[in-house]
Structure 1
Amino acid sequence: MLILSRKKNESVIIGDNIEVIISDIEDGKVKIGINAPKDIDIHRKEIYEDIQKENKEAANSKEVNIDKLKDMFF
């Protein structure tokens, strides 16, 4: 893990096209801004973990409603 110190309005660059900016620091909280291409998904970690959990559960589900699938495609 890389740990960096940044002040308000300073930033870090990830790769060639992602910039993380320290927008504000107040009451023990840091506000960040992220500039990234629109094709890159950005989620808070807890939301990302929920999405991954739901995807795994859906992949393991054996119940398939054929009629619902037909409605989606026809």
Structure 2
Amino acid sequence: MTDSGTGLRALRRELAMQLDLDTVCTCGTFVLEAADEGAGIGEVPITTREVQKPRGTAWVHGFQLWHVLRYLLRD
């Protein structure tokens, strides 16, 4: 996935009902859970416009990384 954190998703209702999505970092684990359920995953290219805003480190991403790693390393 090019950008798994965008938050834009489309999925079948049946798959949505199977996913747990019980985490602080849904955007980071959503694709992993769907793949574990055997879902086909694809991307649709879009065009965006640049937004001028200050860029910096969002320290919350370290916390989100922890949840993704925990998901990947689960038993």
What TM-score do you get using the length of structure 1 for normalisation?
0.24
**Bigger radius of gyration:** 1
- Greater relative contact order, per chain length (Cα 8 Å cut-off, separation 6+): 2
- Which structure shows the higher strand fraction? 1
